Amino acid sequence: MRNILLIGAGKSTSHLLKYLLEKAEKEQLHITVGDKDPSNCEKLLKNHPKSTAVKLDIFDEEDRQNAIKKAHLVISMLPARYHIDVAKDCLRFEKNLVTASYVSPEMEQLNNAVKQKGLIFLNEIGVDPGIDHMSAMKVIDSIRDRGGKMILFESFTGGLVAPESDTNLWNYKFTWNPRNVVVAGQGGTAKFIQEGNYKYIPYHKLFRRTEFLEVEGYGKFEGYANRDSLKYRSAYGLENVLTLYRGTIRRIGFSKAWNMFVQLGMTDDTFVLEDSENMTYREFVNSFLPYSPTDSVELKLRHYLKIDQDDNMWEKLVELDLFDPHKKIAIKNATPAQALQKILEDHWLLNNDDKDMIVMYHKFGYELNGEKKQIDSSMVAIGEDKTYTAMSKTVGLPLGIAALKILNKEISATGVVIPILKDIYAPVLNELENHGIKFTEKNIPYMGYNPNNVAG
C-alpha cells in the first residue's frame, strides 16, 4: 500500500480526491488528508476504505513531520507561502512533492539538494500555472520539431462563471480564493514584450490596458496583463521572441468596472480601517470620498469617478449594495481589501447549482520556410456544481495524474521542476483529454500584434 499525503483540503481538492480514490484499489493507494479541520474533506472522502482524514497543524513541526514520514509522496495544497516548510521536511525524509503553486525563490534554492537525493519536487502543475505550461510547450515543441522559429506567444487564462449561471451585471462570480481576486495585480508592475519593445503597466493603470479575444462558441473576452510575463522566456526557450504576453481573462467590461475600486483605493491591503467592524457599506464608500456638507455619497462618487447618468458602471455599483446604510463590514481591523472582499462575497459566491468555467487561450506566431504562420489554441471547461467545479478539475486532475505517474516512476525528472518537459506534459495532457480537458488548435493567417486590439 502506497500512502499519498494530501495537505490542505480547500476548494480545489474535490476532483483531486475523486481521481485518487477512483485509482486507489487498482494502484494500491491510501489517501491521507491532513487539514486543520478534517470535517472539510470528510464529505468528499465519503468513508472510502482507502482514505483517512486527520487533523494536521502544519505549524506544529512534530505533527507535520510525523505525517510526512509516513507518506510515499506528498501533495501540498497549502497557500504558496507555506510550501517551503513542507518541502524541507520532504527533503529531509526523502519524499517526492507535488504542488500547484509557482516556484518561490526559497523552493528553487532546494534544487541541487533535491537532485542529489534523486527526488522530484514538481511545482506549477495546476491550471495556471500548470495546464497553460503543458499545452503551450506541446505546441512550441511541435513547431520547433518542424524547423519553425517562434516569434510571438500570448497566453490567457480565466476562472469565470459559466454562461448558464451568469446572473449579475459584472458577469463574474468567485471560482477560487476571493482574496486573490481582490488583490490581483498588486505588488509589482506588469512586464511584457510586444513587437520587440519592452512594456510596463503600473497597477493603477492595469485594468485599463486590456486586450480583446474571442473563443468560438463562448463569445468575446478581455485580458489584462499578468505581473511578469518575462519570467518564462528562458523556461520556454523564447529568449528571442518578439512578443511575449501572459494575461488573465474576464468578460468584456469587467476590468473597466473593477478599475473603479482601484482608483478609489478599495483594493489596498496595506492599512487598517478604524472601527471597521461597525462601519456600514455606505460609510466604507464615503471614507474614500472628499467631505461635503451637502452632497450625498452617490453624488460625490459620480463626480469623483466621472460616471455619467447613462453609464452602466453605476448600475454595477448599485447591484453590490455599496450604498446600503445598514449592512456592516463586521470585520475587526479590516483592510480596505478585506472590506471589499466581504461586500463582494455577498453577491459573487457560487450558489449550490451554479457552474463555473475555465477559459484558456494561446496564440503562437512562428516562421517556417520564410513564411509567417499562426496557431490559435483554446480550451473551455465547465464545472458540475459548487463543489465539483471546473477550477477544482483543472487544478486537481493534473496534480493527481502527475503524482501517480511519479509513484509509478513514469516521470523520471529530478530536482525542483515545472511541467515543461515532454516526459511530464505529454502523458499528463493525454490523460487530461480522457477527462474532457482538451485543446482545440487552429491554423490561421498570421495576425501578429494588433495595437488596435488594445483598449484604454
Between residues 11 and 105, the one the model is more confident about = 105
How far apart, in whole angstroms, are the C-alpha atoms of residue 418 and residue 123? 5
Per-residue pLDDT band for 454 (boundaries 50, 70, 90) equals: very low
**CA 294 from centroid of its chain's CA atoms:** 44
**How many CA atoms within 13 Å lie on the side-chain side of 75?**
31
Specify the pLDDT at position 449: 60
Is 162 found in the same domain as 75? Answer: no
How far apart, in whole angstroms, are the C-alpha atoms of residue 299 and residue 172? 26
Is 168 found in the same domain as 91? Answer: no
Q: What is the DSSP string of 92-144?
A: HTT-EEEESSPPPHHHHTTHHHHHHTT-EEE-S-BBTTBHHHHHHHHHHHHHH
- Residue whose cell numbers read 512586464: 191
Per-residue pLDDT band for 450 (boundaries 50, 70, 90) equals: low
How far apart, in whole angstroms, are the C-alpha atoms of residue 198 and residue 230? 10
How far apart, in whole angstroms, are the C-alpha atoms of residue 157 and residue 96? 28
Give the count of domains, the chain.
2
Residue ending a domain, among 74, 97, 122, is 122
Tell me if 324 is assigned to some domain: no
Has residue 436 got a pLDDT over 60? Answer: yes
Is 199 found in the same domain as 115? Answer: no
Residue ending a domain, among 79, 96, 122, is 122
SS3 assignment, position 384: coil
Is 135 found in the same domain as 116? Answer: no
CATH classification at residue 416: 3.30.360.10
Specify the pLDDT at position 294: 95
**CA 341 from centroid of its chain's CA atoms:** 17
Provide the sign of the torsion angle of the four alpha carbons 218, 222, 225, 229, taken in this order: positive
Specify the pLDDT at position 12: 84
92-114 average pLDDT score: 97
Per the DSSP assignment, residues forming a β-bridge with 454 are 211
Give the three cell numbers for residue 364: 503562437
Each residue's pLDDT tens digit, 253-267: 999 999 999 999 999
Q: How many helices (H) and strands (E) does the chain have?
A: 16, 17
Tell me if 81 is assigned to some domain: yes
Specify the pLDDT at position 188: 84
The CA radius of gyration of the chain, in Å to the nearest whole number, is 23
Is 163 found in the same domain as 67? Answer: no
Tell me if 164 is assigned to some domain: yes
Is 378 found in the same domain as 238? Answer: yes
Q: Are strands 415-417 and 120-122 parallel, antiparallel or unpaired?
A: parallel
Is 363 found in the same domain as 249? Answer: yes
Each residue's pLDDT tens digit, 392-424: 999 999 999 999 999 999 999 999 999 999 999
User: Are the C-beta atoms of residues 417 and 108 closer than 8 Å to each other?
Assistant: no
SS3 assignment, position 342: helix
Tell me if 313 is assigned to some domain: no
How far apart, in whole angstroms, are the C-alpha atoms of residue 94 and residue 65? 12
Which of 58-67, 159-168, 310-319, 445-454 is predicted with the least confidence, judged by mean pLDDT?
445-454
**How many CA atoms within 13 Å lie on the side-chain side of 402?**
36
Tell me if 104 is assigned to some domain: yes
> Which helix (H) or strand (E) segment is 74 a member of?
strand 73-76
Instruction: Give the phi and the psi of residue 310 in degrees, each rounded to 5.
Output: -100, 15
Largest CA distance in the chain: 73
Tell me if 217 is assigned to some domain: yes
Mean pLDDT of the chain: 94
SS3 assignment, position 200: strand
Each residue's pLDDT tens digit, 3-39: 999 999 887 899 999 999 999 999 999 999 999 888 8
Is 103 found in the same domain as 145? Answer: no
Has residue 451 got a pLDDT over 90? Answer: no
Number of C-beta neighbours around residue 77 at 10 A: 24
- CB burial string 380-405: b at 16+ within 10 A, e below: bbbbeebebbbbbbbbbbbbbbbbbb
Tell me if 284 is assigned to some domain: no
CATH classification at residue 106: 3.40.50.720
Q: Is the peptide bond before 129 cis (omega within 30 degrees of 0)?
A: yes
The domain of 430 spans 131-257+352-455
How far apart, in whole angstroms, are the C-alpha atoms of residue 343 and residue 261? 12
Specify the pLDDT at position 242: 95
Per-residue pLDDT band for 324 (boundaries 50, 70, 90) equals: very high
Has residue 92 got a pLDDT over 50? Answer: yes
Is 146 found in the same domain as 108? Answer: no
Is 93 found in the same domain as 150? Answer: no
Is 235 found in the same domain as 209? Answer: yes
Residue ending a domain, among 122, 144, 165, is 122
Specify the pLDDT at position 359: 98
Number of C-beta neighbours around residue 124 at 10 A: 21
Q: What angle do CA 298, 303, 304 make, to 5 degrees?
A: 100
Is 192 found in the same domain as 51? Answer: no
Tell me if 229 is assigned to some domain: yes
How far apart, in whole angstroms, are the C-alpha atoms of residue 58 and residue 192? 37
Prediction pTM value: 0.92
Specify the pLDDT at position 221: 97
The percent of residues in the chain predicted with pLDDT above 70, rounded, is 98
Each residue's pLDDT tens digit, 355-381: 999 999 999 999 999 999 999 999 999
